[in-house]
Amino acid sequence: MTGRYQVARRAAQVVGAATPLILGYWRDERRFFFFGGARPVTEATHAERARRIRAEIERLGVGFIKVGQVVSTRGDLLPRPYLEQLRQLQDNLTPLTFDAVQAALEATYGCPLADVFEDFEPSPLATASIGQVHRARYAGQPVVVKLIRPGIQRQLAVDFRIVTALLRFLDEQLVRFRQENSDVHVLTRLFSQIVTEVNAGLREEMDFVFERANAERLGVLLADNPLVVVPKVIGELCRPNILVLEYRPGIKISDGGALRAAGFEPLRLVEQLVEVYLEMILVHGVYHADPHPGNIAVDERGRIILYDFGIVRTLSARIREGLLKMTLDGLRGDIPAIVDELYRMGVVDPAADRAIALRVGEKFRELYLRDMLTAERIEAVGRYMRDAFGYVPLRMPKEMVYVFRVVSMLEGLGTCFKPGWNIMADAAPAVQRGIRKMMLANETIKWPEFIARWIGQWLRTLFTRPA
Ligand SMILES: Nc1ncnc2c1ncn2[C@@H]1O[C@H](COP(=O)(O)OP(=O)(O)O)[C@@H](O)[C@H]1O
Ligand SMILES: [Mg+2]
């Protein structure tokens, strides 16, 4: 099949899936229809359409699924029925047969499988969108072998070209119809950002050179942390499409029953996980950016095991410092300081009115203290923000996309065990512990300033503590 034909066929598939949905949306909004009444859209219509969107996305494959999963964590972007469906997105690829796995491994190593591994488990330990994991034995040691599906790189490159072209086209049409500042345009811009970021991430994920380097890097950075385990890389067996790691089994962090049976309190483990994340994000500025339950387990000694270093992000000192400031401000409940920091970090549109931003911030705090699902909370803030400003004045610096994702994934984990669980209210002790540790460890942050603030806060709590 020639490249161009493949692209054209795929493009037809994507456009075919997207067009009815886009037209439906425009029609509801009456943006491009000059006659006919408003179309009343019932909850049921939305739910039905959301279901259809999810089915289409799953049919279109891994690139679309990943984008959908990221979008689903951004409660500010879409109404609830859509978020709910997007959150359920699953990759349901059929596993590679053992013959295909064997062929791919032997082609890469250039020798029979039995010459490399003493033992190789034919049925996979896990299958996923981009690869497959098998247990094996090497040099007397149990290992796992992760293999990238042959041909998937090309598919994703094609999809990215098609989707960016489609978004560019939509963008041009919106400008042409003078919809530069409409909600739809804000959405297409945010979508473009997310698509670009997800694509860059996927390209890294599909190159185990990165994943190996990430695993090794975090392994070194977290070596002294007794709360966490990073499986060791078996370097001599790694190739761009094959990753071999020591086998480190554990209990899945979302498996409350099994954790309790092993004598662990799940919420304590989630807090421990938050502490590990704080260290990665604020101290090292290098973090595992994919904390979904499948990538996190707990070993027999209660240590967190991190799997899957396909998405590891770094943060500049500037952003790291901003996040640390916000964390401290958050612990203190200082909303104006957080809002100012968000402006400084470029998360809030500089043209947005600060007084309104403060009101939104207060609303956020109020909602944060309420027992509600994280997604509902984010959605409520999103709605409030849209009402207050007339648009969503958020600009997401590239570096922050995954930070938001991580926070919402961690909170998602917490809510498995306690409804409404959130980091600031429920994991505050872990956050404080983490910050204290950082104060001892980090040189890139101007500590005198922070210590002064810290003392200021302490004095304030001392003098304002209710009797
Ligand atoms: N070093 C390991 N030891 C034990 N199990 C592992 C190891 N690495 C991965 N796994 C298991 O395989 C699953 C898939 O691995 P992961 O690295 O997350 O691949 P993917 O990128 O396809 O999600 C994990 O959820 C975990 O259950
Ligand atoms: Mg994984």
> What angle do the packed helices 3-29 and 152-176 form, to 10 degrees?
40
Pocket test for ligand 1, best of 91, 125, 210, 237 (most atoms within 8 A of CB): 125
Alpha helices in 333-446, H assignment, sequence order: 335-344, 354-368, 374-389, 398-417, 423-426, 428-441
Is the pLDDT higher at 75 or at 262? Answer: 262
Look at residue 114 and tell me if it is in a domain: no
**Domain containing 81: what range?**
3-92+151-205
| Largest separation between any pair of C-alpha atoms in the chain | 77
What DSSP designation does 239 have?
Answer: B
Q: Radius of gyration over alpha carbons of the chain, in Å?
A: 24
Mutation to probe ligand 1, out of 133, 237, 241 (largest number of atoms < 8 A from CB): 133
Ligand 1 atom nearest residue 129's Cα: 22
Residue 188: inside a domain: yes
Are 302 and 317 within 8 A, CB to CB?
Answer: no
Ligand nearest the Cα atom of residue 306: 1
> What are φ and ψ of residue 420, in 5° steps?
75, 5
Over residues 126-172, the pLDDT tens digits come to 987 788 999 999 999 999 999 998 888 888 889 998 989 888 888 88
Task: Tell me, yes or no, whether 74 lies in a domain.
Answer: yes
The answer to whether residue 466 scores a pLDDT higher than 50 is no
- What is the per-residue pLDDT across 115-135, written as a single tens digit (0 to 9) for each? 999 999 999 999 877 889 999
144 token code pair = 């796992």
DSSP 37: P
Domain assignment present for residue 36? The answer is yes
- Looking at this protein, which amino acid is placed at residue 362? E
* Domains contained in the chain, number: 1
In the structure, which protein residues have their CB atom closer than 6 angstroms to any atom of ligand 1? 125-126, 128, 131, 133, 144, 146, 231, 245, 247-249, 294-295, 307-308, 310
Residue with CA nearest ligand 1 atom 25: 294
CA of 133 to the centre of ligand 2 (A): 10
Instruction: Name the closest ligand to CA 297.
Output: 1
Distance 228 CA to ligand 1 centre (A): 16
What is the spatial distance between Cα 134 and Cα 101, in angstroms, rounded to a whole number?
9
Residue in 139, 134, 286 with CA at minimum distance from that of residue 219: 286
Token pair 């917490």 is found at 414
- Give the residue among 1, 158, 24 at the shortest CA–CA distance from 82: 24
Query: Which residue minimizes the CA distance to atom 18 of ligand 1?
Result: 308
Kindly give the distance from the C-alpha atom of residue 131 to the centroid of ligand 1, in angstroms, as a whole number: 10
CA of 285 to the centre of ligand 1 (A): 23
Residues across the chain: 467
262 vs 453, residue with greater confidence: 262
Q: Which residues surround ligand 2, an ion (CB under 5 A)?
A: 295, 308
Distance 148 CA to ligand 1 centre (A): 13
Q: Specify burial of residue 223 (Cβ count, 10 A radius: 0-12, 13-18, 19+).
A: exposed
Residue with tokens 């996923």: 128
Smallest-distance ligand from the CA of 294 = 1
What is residue 117's three-state secondary structure? coil
Higher pLDDT among residues 307 and 202, named by residue:
307
- Predicted local distance difference test score (pLDDT) of residue 309: 93
Cβ 423 vs Cβ 407: under 8 Å: yes
pLDDT (tens digit, 9 = 90+) per residue, 64-75?
A: 888 888 888 777
Protein residue with least CA distance to atom 14, ligand 1: 126
87 confidence band (pLDDT: 50, 70, 90): confident
Q: Across residues 363-373, what is the average pLDDT?
A: 76
As annotated, the active-site residues are: 290
* Element at 270 (helix H, strand E): helix 266-278
pTM of the model: 0.75
Question: Which helix (H) or strand (E) covers residue 136, if one does?
Answer: strand 131-138
Residue 130 CA, closest ligand 1 atom number = 22
Q: Which of 95, 87, 152, 131 is nearest to 310 (CA)?
A: 131
